[in-house]
Amino acid sequence: AAGVIQSPRHLIKEKRETATLKCYPIPRHDTVYWYQQGPGQDPQFLISFYEKMQSDKGSIPDRFSAQQFSDYHSELNMSSLELGDSALYFCASSHIRGSRFFGPGTRLTVL
């Protein structure tokens, strides 16, 4: 069965650079979620989209933005990267009230 696809799987950036993470949800899933998981922490919700509209907002910094496109893929844009942004970034997808299936994650390292 098709799963959530995230790219890239690993990303290394320097401070103050920008990064774009991509997520391709499971086909026919209408909701996409972004999470950030720091080392040894549980995932923290950043933002979600339902049918291409932002549906919920969590602890997403102002330096980050996200959108969902007409083909339902989503991108998380991160600017002015800081050392503390180093984390595993998950995208998940679901039907609006269904089980959330997570992608493999993008491991971002900021040097």
Contact 86, 110 (CB under 8 A): yes
Closest approach, Cβ 76 to other proteins, in A, equals 16
Task: State yes or no: residue 55 binds other proteins (CB under 8 A).
Answer: yes
Contact 74, 63 (CB under 8 A): no
Task: State yes or no: residue 109 binds other proteins (CB under 8 A).
Answer: no
Can you tell me the distance from the alpha carbon of 74 to that of 111, in angstroms, rounded to the nearest whole number?
Answer: 25
Residue whose entry in the numeric block shows the structure tokens 């609006």: 96
DSSP code of residue 101: E
Task: State yes or no: residue 25 binds other proteins (CB under 8 A).
Answer: no
Can you tell me the distance from the alpha carbon of 33 to that of 56, in angstroms, rounded to the nearest whole number?
Answer: 9
Task: State yes or no: residue 49 binds other proteins (CB under 8 A).
Answer: no
Can you tell me the distance from the alpha carbon of 21 to that of 81, in angstroms, rounded to the nearest whole number?
Answer: 13
Closest approach, Cβ 48 to other proteins, in A, equals 8
Task: State yes or no: residue 103 binds other proteins (CB under 8 A).
Answer: yes
* Comparison of 73 and 101: residue with beta carbon closer to other proteins: 101
* Comparison of 70 and 99: residue with beta carbon closer to other proteins: 99
Site residues (vs other proteins, CB under 8 A) = 33, 41-43, 45, 55-56, 88, 90, 92, 96-97, 99-105, 107
